[in-house]
Structure 1
Amino acid sequence: MTISGSLASAISGLNAASRNVEVISNNIANAATKGYGRRELVTEARSIGSVGQGVRVVGVRRESDMVLIGDRRIAQAATGGDAVRAAYYRSLESAIGTTDSAVSIGSRIDAFDSALLAAAANPGSSARLDAAVQAADALTQQISDAADAVQELRQRADGTIADQVTQLNAALRRVSDLNGQIRGHAGGNTDASALMDQRQQVIDSIAAILPVREVQREFGQVALYALNGAALVEGPAAQFGFSRTAAIGPDTCLAEGELSGLTLNGRPVALSGANSPIAGGAMAAQFQLRDTLAVESQTQLDALARDLVERFSDSGLDPSLSPGAAGLFTDNGSAFDPLAETGLAQRLGVNAAVDPARGGALWRLRDGIGAGSAGAGGNAQLLVDLQAALTERRATASGGFMAADRSFSALQGEIVSSVAASRLGAEAEASFSSARSEALVQEEEAGGVDTDFELQSLLMVEQAYAANAKVIQIIGQMIDKLMEM
């Protein structure tokens, strides 16, 4: 090899080593950066004719395990959905109250039962009658508050969906834009790896909302598909559509068009099942919460309210009531209509006839809701019958409960137990999916940047750099000698 050829080879080696040091340093510096793909310098032999002229830097290759990343994204989406359901049941359980809670529907029932017994023991005491009325009012308020909390959770889910759609559309457009920028680097000497890192981070944010599959395309571009095959990014980005609902009530439902569904490029899409583009992710769980889980909870609370109303309005319980008149508990002040059960939990209240603050009289709790004047102060029969009505075992008319006779306390206990079981199941699923997602994250990180390996590579590059520098030094000395001759 000639002196000029040796010099060219050494200089190309220095350039390659210098570039490699930069690549390795970036790997080490970004070892813990989310979305960072390990870089590796790509070189090839350079020759002029049949004579070797060192090495040429071809470019920088970004390494990533797309199969593992795809699995991690699907697990990430499942974790988000399970977390939504678990959080819903925790909130619902808090609103209804557990058996050991001092402020719960169960504790309000116990307080009302005790107040009726105390009033029956001394029916002439206005204080005890007032305590019974106050306990009845507290019970209806607790049921109403629990139902209001359910609707608040529906409203919050609707708002979350609207925010997620906005984020999703922006992220899909960003992926499409980054595809265009990365394509612009194809065939040039510039490195598009940083743009690919950004794109991976954006796609990861999409996976937090719905599960996606990434497909490699030419010139470093990617396409994104939902699990049902719907194209989300294939060239231009798809557009999701959703309208936030201003106010959601117990009877507000998707089937009647009162709630917004979801559209993809202007066409309605399924919100659940195998044909849904969002199935298996956090957005699908929010729709499930809004349209199914919370509706079922409202139905059970309405059934609980109906059971309470009907227990205290049965014919024969209060002889002073005319047929069809409201009993101790009312539907917004009126008699209950079984055809208008939806939302009864929010409308539930104590009959104004026994409430002095609303023009009623306490003695009507003792003498009858429809009584025109106070009776004997020692007559406790109606109070005894009212307490018996509360504890009587009877069939539940609605709510989808199993056929059985229950006391009012047992009915609410069944609701509490059902919510607790659902919470435990949802938390178990969330824990499993979270553990699976974390395991995939750890596996992905283990296959990413290995700082020990990078440091070893850096030492080898430094040795190569020193060797090429030594060659240049020797060539310089040779040229100096030749010049002296």
Structure 2
Amino acid sequence: MSVGTGLAIASSGLSAIDQQLAVVSQNIANANTSGYSVETANLSSATAGGQGSGVISAPATRQVNTSIQTQVNNSIAQQSYQAVISTTLSGIDQVMGTPGQGNDLPSLLANVQSGFQTLMTDPSNVVQQNTVVSAAKTLTGQINSIASTLQSASQSAASTITEDLKKLNSTLSTIGSLNAQIVNLAQQNKSTADLANQRDAAIQTIASLTGAKALTQTNGSIALFTVNGIQLPLNGSSPITATTTTNSTSYSIGGTPVTFGGELGGAQQLNNATLPQIQAGLDSFSQALSSRFAGAGLSLFTDPIGNVPTAATKGLSAVITVNPAVISNPALVRDGNVTVTNASGTPIPPNPAGGPAGYTALIQNVLNSAFGTTTVGGSAQPPAITAYTDATGTVSLPYSGSGSLSAIATNFTANEASISSAALTQVSNVGNLVTALKAQASSTSGVNIDQQMSLLVTLQNAYAANAKTVTIAQQMWQAVQAMVQ
């Protein structure tokens, strides 16, 4: 082998090692980058006249397990869907109170009942009358707080949708640009590995937002499809939009309805069904509370101007309060302010001004009827309203509206806790799945630092050997030149 051939081989080796070092360095730098697939520099030997003449460097490629990668994206979509629901409901849990600690609706309702029971022993006691009014204020205050939290949660879901759509449209445009670059480089037989890794990260973002799935095309580009089979636009010509009204959110692409999973799907579920259902349950309890007390002879719980709603009033829970007339005259919790009729058809009017200070008829009616299961007239209490209208139409609450006020309050509280607990369990389960799948993906497609560091040492030694060969060749040429001179 001539000196020139040896020098050419060593020079091609140095060039190939430079390419490998660049790939290894990039792999190490991205070892902790989610979704990054390890890259490999592809080398082959060159021959001339049947003899080795150096090394040929081919475009770097990726080591990708597409099946696991798809599973990871699917699980991330599920995780994002459940996470936005669970996070929202956890905030509602905090204001709902904790059973047994006196700050939940059943406990606060029981405090009002206890106040009337105490007042029964001394109806003229002003302190005890005010205690009843105070307990009633605390109950309505808690109802208002829950309603306010639900409203804030709805607004937060709407904000999430707005921000997610901006991110979605931007990321789709990025993928479209990466598609074009990848196709162009592939046609030039150049490496697309770096751009493909960037695109995979963007695809994972889309999966997290929408649950969309990626399909690789024959030219190396990818297409994205939603859970209902609609192709997402990658050129920015038809941005994805949302139409959001009270308790209703819908998505569309150029006017075509589209269904999403991921975080956008979770936010839609909150706005279209989960939050309206909880709100409807709270309104239903508020209406039953107001009407049952009025039916016992005392309009204690009303809207701000003292009216008792006759049907389920949407948003009643946000405004329900203690009747201003009762606040001005606490003695009404003894006397009453509504005429009712007993089982025999006899009207029972309120205790008139100057009436007996020890009047107990109204208090008995409240304890036996408002807190009980039968009306003053002896019939069964009408059940609390359990049908509400959401984005899909009229739906029934998943619990009974019959029974006492305490039962209704308990059913409402338990239902919210059940929804929240189920969402939290789902987040935990899906989170474990994501962790397991990412670990599996990392073991097959991810960067193994030990392997990369070992390869780095090998390349450094090979570089030194090739550099030594070049040095020796140079020395030989210098010796030849010296002999010629």
Counterpart check, 1:451 vs 2:440: no
Aligned equivalent of 2:343: none
Change over 3 Å in CA distance of 1:144–1:53 after alignment to 2? same
Q: Say if 2:385 and 2:401, in contact at 8 Å, map to a contact too.
A: no
Distance 2:398 2:51 in 1: 88
Counterpart check, 1:365 vs 2:333: yes
Q: Say if 2:10 and 2:466, in contact at 8 Å, map to a contact too.
A: yes
Change over 3 Å in CA distance of 1:459–1:237 after alignment to 2? farther
Counterpart check, 1:337 vs 2:310: yes
1:352 maps to amino acid: P
Distance 1:403 1:293 in 2: 18
Aligned equivalent of 1:263: 252
2:354 maps to amino acid: A
- Summarize deviations over 1:379-434 as a string: whole Å, max 9, x none: 22322322223431345232246558522122211222222222222211111101
Distance 1:80 1:402 in 2: 28
Aligned equivalent of 2:211: 211
Change over 3 Å in CA distance of 1:374–1:329 after alignment to 2? farther
Change over 3 Å in CA distance of 1:474–1:365 after alignment to 2? closer
Distance 1:411 1:40 in 2: 64
Q: Say if 2:185 and 2:192, in contact at 8 Å, map to a contact too.
A: yes
1:378 maps to amino acid: G
Aligned equivalent of 1:221: 221
The 5-angstrom pairing of residues 25-424 of structure 1 reads 25-48=25-48, 50-188=50-188, 191-217=191-217, 220-233=220-233, 238-243=238-243, 252-254=246-248, 260-269=249-258, 276=259, 278-279=260-261, 281-314=262-295, 317-318=296-297, 327-332=299-304, 333-338=306-311, 340-356=312-328, 361-369=329-337, 371=350, 373-393=353-373, 394=381, 396-399=383-386, 400=397, 402=399, 405-424=402-421
2:101 maps to amino acid: S
Worse-matched range after superposition: 469-478 or 425-434: 469-478
Distance 1:108 1:305 in 2: 13
Distance 2:142 2:105 in 1: 6
Distance 1:289 1:99 in 2: 24
Change over 3 Å in CA distance of 1:405–1:202 after alignment to 2? closer
Worse-matched range after superposition: 27-36 or 110-119: 27-36
Aligned equivalent of 1:467: 465
1:467 maps to amino acid: A
- Summarize deviations over 1:259-304 as a string: whole Å, max 9, x none: x5211123223xxxxxx3x13x111111111111111111211221
Distance 2:231 2:6 in 1: 54
Q: Say if 1:225 and 1:233, in contact at 8 Å, map to a contact too.
A: no
* SS across alignment from 1:262: strand
Worse-matched range after superposition: 80-89 or 468-477: 468-477
Distance 1:101 1:377 in 2: 35
Distance 2:428 2:143 in 1: 31
1:49, distance to aligned residue in structure 2 (A):
5.6
- Summarize deviations over 1:105-139 as a string: whole Å, max 9, x none: 22321221121122221111222112212222222
Distance 1:403 1:480 in 2: 99
| Contiguous gaps of at least 5 residues in structure 1 | 246-251, 255-259, 270-275, 319-325
* SS across alignment from 2:36: coil
Distance 1:310 1:112 in 2: 16
Distance 2:105 2:127 in 1: 23
* SS across alignment from 2:309: coil
Runs of 4+, deviation exceeding 6 Å: none
Q: Say if 1:93 and 1:420, in contact at 8 Å, map to a contact too.
A: yes
Q: Say if 1:176 and 1:237, in contact at 8 Å, map to a contact too.
A: no
Worse-matched range after superposition: 111-120 or 363-372: 363-372
- Summarize deviations over 1:183-208 as a string: whole Å, max 9, x none: 34345586544333332222222222
Change over 3 Å in CA distance of 1:405–1:455 after alignment to 2? closer
1:337 maps to amino acid: T
* SS across alignment from 1:229: coil
1:212, distance to aligned residue in structure 2 (A):
2.3
| Contiguous gaps of at least 5 residues in structure 2 | 339-349, 374-380, 387-396
Distance 1:476 1:190 in 2: 33
Q: Say if 2:215 and 2:223, in contact at 8 Å, map to a contact too.
A: yes
Number of matched pairs: 452
Counterpart check, 1:435 vs 2:453: no
Q: Say if 1:162 and 1:243, in contact at 8 Å, map to a contact too.
A: no
Q: What TM-score, normalized by structure 2, do the two folds share? A: 0.85
The root-mean-square deviation of aligned C-alpha atoms, in Å, is 2.6
Change over 3 Å in CA distance of 1:404–1:451 after alignment to 2? closer
Q: What TM-score, normalized by structure 1, do the two folds share? A: 0.85
Worse-matched range after superposition: 217-226 or 117-126: 217-226
Change over 3 Å in CA distance of 1:30–1:369 after alignment to 2? same
Aligned equivalent of 2:341: none
1:151, distance to aligned residue in structure 2 (A):
2.3
Change over 3 Å in CA distance of 1:44–1:159 after alignment to 2? same
Q: Say if 2:86 and 2:420, in contact at 8 Å, map to a contact too.
A: yes
Distance 1:196 1:465 in 2: 29
1:363 maps to amino acid: A
* SS across alignment from 1:242: strand
Distance 2:201 2:132 in 1: 60
1:345 maps to amino acid: S
